[in-house]
Amino acid sequence: MKYYLEHAIRLAEMVEGQTGVNPPVGAVIVKEGRIIGMGAHLKKGDKHAEIQAIDMAGAQNVAGATIYVSLEPCSHYGATPPCAAKIIETGIQKVVYAARDITLPATGHEMMAEKGIDVQYTPHPRADKLYASFFASKTTEVPIVTVKVSASLDGKQATDHQQSKWITSKAVKDDVFQLRHMHDAIITGNGTLEADDPSLTVRLPEGRHPARIVMTNSGHIDWQAAMFHDQLAPVYIYTDNESFVSPLDHVHVVYLPSTDVKTILHDLYKKGFGRILVEAGPKLTSQFLTSEFISTFILYLAPKIIGGQGKYQYFQTDGVTPLDQLANFEIVHSEMIDTDIKLQMKRM
């Protein structure tokens, strides 16, 4: 039934954000009209969702059953043997999946069909939504990137005196914690460290702290900043200054000859960071907002007008772009968070 496939997609959604550069996948095994196993891929390197579900059901019990999977079962030997082979071996009779993995030479479908399994590709809009950025990310080998900005109605992150605490409400802070929890790493700039000294952690029960990535081209860094001393999550400093060294053992310096957005993101992807959140000042924020590698733009707007000269407008460019060539976004979701509004947008 259709809703078993939706259950599988729901399980995948539950683990979204904790699988790094691996896709979130869910699986449900049904036999004689009854769920006998459920599973999800919990972590890169861990068992795949299909195997978790087979384990819950007991491999000896799944012959003749149907497995519903959010993504086509894999056919390749990676960290784990192919799920398609396991499905064949256990005698599962029917496989229904909601998305094809366009990033792999996916022959799982054909592999199972050849063995007489009834394999059904049943596309589902929720699965498409779940995997769209993942596939794009894997194809380009850059992480899924979210840019987050808290601003006034007139587009400013702070007053001209750099006062920014607090433009948005306490409730927005909690929402940002959730957002951080869903990402593997946060990118910020040294300017933000000096201005706000943020720890960029997740102050919620069961929160997962993302790694902190600090950009500095000059090589100037405020070593007093809290995040260099809290030991709550790894810190990386990205720089194009070859002579830059860290005086702190646990702070990793990554030298890149060029620190354009694409180069940085590609390097982060190679390190296993699947989802990146950008929380930075005008310079970095603008750099990412104009790049093609941003999948979501989250803007918290406080109903305040800041004025001044707009030194901290979150979006500033050197050149002038004609109106018909501006980057456009589509608002996919909006919601009130206490007194502020949150807009979730996709790059068009």
- 316 strand-pairing partners: none
With binding defined as CB under 8 A, does residue 42 bind a second copy?
yes
- Is 340 labelled a binding residue? no
Q: Tell me which of 16, 32, 50, 330 is the catalytic residue.
A: 50
With binding defined as CB under 8 A, does residue 171 bind a second copy?
no
Q: Is the CB of 41 or the CB of 271 nearer to a second copy?
A: 41
- Is 66 labelled a binding residue? no
User: From the centroid of its chain, how far is CA 247?
Assistant: 31
- Is 330 labelled a binding residue? no
What lies within 8 Å, CB to CB, of 2 at 6+ separation is 122
Judged by CB under 8 A, the chain residues 189 through 228 that form the site for a second copy are: 202, 204-209
- Is 223 labelled a binding residue? no
What lies within 8 Å, CB to CB, of 28 at 6+ separation is 4, 7, 8, 11, 35, 37, 38, 53, 67, 68
Which of 9, 38, 88, 276 touches a second copy (CB under 8 A)? 38
With binding defined as CB under 8 A, does residue 15 bind a second copy?
yes
With binding defined as CB under 8 A, does residue 342 bind a second copy?
no
157: helix, strand or coil:
coil
With binding defined as CB under 8 A, does residue 43 bind a second copy?
yes
Binding mask 47-86 for a second copy (x = CB under 8 A): -----x--xx---------x--------------------
CB 168 within 8 A of CB 298: no
State the nearest-atom distance from the C-beta of 172 to a second copy, in Å: 16
- Angle subtended at Cα 36 by Cα 52 and Cα 96, rounded to the nearest 5 degrees: 75
Annotation says 292 is catalytic: no
Which of 30, 149, 195, 298 touches a second copy (CB under 8 A)? 30
83: helix, strand or coil:
helix
- 346 strand-pairing partners: 296, 330
Going along the chain, which residue ranges are E strands? 26-31, 34-40, 66-69, 94-97, 118-121, 144-152, 185-189, 211-215, 235-239, 251-255, 275-278, 296-302, 329-337, 340-347
Binding site listing for substrate: 164, 180, 200, 203, 279
User: Which stretches of the chain bind a second copy, using CB under 8 A?
Assistant: 1, 4, 7, 10-11, 14-15, 18, 28, 30, 32-40, 42-43, 52, 55-56, 66, 178, 181, 202, 204-209
Binding site listing: 48, 74, 83, 164, 166, 180, 192, 196, 200, 203, 279
